[in-house]
Structure 1
């Protein structure tokens, strides 16, 4: 087993998730090949890095807080290509719509090591094991006490 490649691919997946959650779109794009594809269930499929990044920028702006955790990697390396399976647990919080989504899924990825020696995602996607949506009004004690992007969306709100 190529443990160095497994470690580099793990780091790549973690960077993908961190960049997504922190809305660092240039870093997010850099985890993907230009012709990368993605499929996040029945209605979300993308045929290029640009299409995926544009969608994420448009739909996961400052009004949406996301938290993605991946673990239990199963990575198989074959020269300069690899596949990976990851367990995902995610939370999406949209205060302006008064909702929270919780879910879990299994990612299936393909990776390619480029001439520069860096691994990038050639394909990513997941199949949900569950997804649940709740209204924040159903959680009477809910109060958002910190939001990294609140200053961008709601003056006077944020860290308390």
Structure 2
């Protein structure tokens, strides 16, 4: 087993998730090959890095708070190609719409070692094991006390 490649691929996946949650779009794009594909469930797919990044920017911008965790990697390396299975647990908050989403899925990824020697994602996607949506108004004690993307006028007072 190529443990160095497994470690590099794990770091790549963690960077993908962190960049997504921190809305670091250039860094997020850097984890993907230009012709990378993605599929999230049966109704959401992309045929290029640019299409995927643009969708994420538009739909997971400052109005949406996300938290993605992946673990239990099963990574198989074959030279300059690899595949990976990951367990995903995620939370999405959309305060303005009063919505919270909680879910889990299994990612199936393909990776290529690029000409620069760096691993990048050639394909990523998942199939949900479950997804639950809740209205924040159904949780009377819910209060968002910190939000990195809240307008300055809202920061510090707990109201978002």
Q: Give me the whole-angstrom Cα distance separating, in 1, the residues matched to 2:141 and 2:62.
A: 23
1:32-111 aligned within 5 A: 32-111=32-111
Conserved 8 A contact 1:71-1:86: yes
Deviation, 1:63, is 0.3
Q: Give me the whole-angstrom Cα distance separating, in 2, the residues matched to 1:159 and 1:56.
A: 27
Determine the structure 1 residue equivalent to 2:153.
156
Determine the structure 2 residue equivalent to 1:20.
20
Q: What TM-score, normalized by structure 1, do the two folds share? A: 0.97
Equivalent residue pairs, number: 157
Change (3 A) 1:62 1:5: same
What is the RMSD of the two structures over their aligned residues, measured on CA atoms?
0.7
SS in 2 for 1:115: coil
Which ranges of 4 or more aligned residues in structure 1 deviate by more than 6 Å?
none
Deviation, 1:158, is 2.4
**Can you give the 5+ residue segments of structure 2 that lack an aligned partner in the other structure?**
none
Query: Which string of whole-angstrom CA distances, capped at 9 and with x for unpartnered residues, describes residues 97-144 of structure 1?
Result: 000000000000000001111000000000000000000000000000
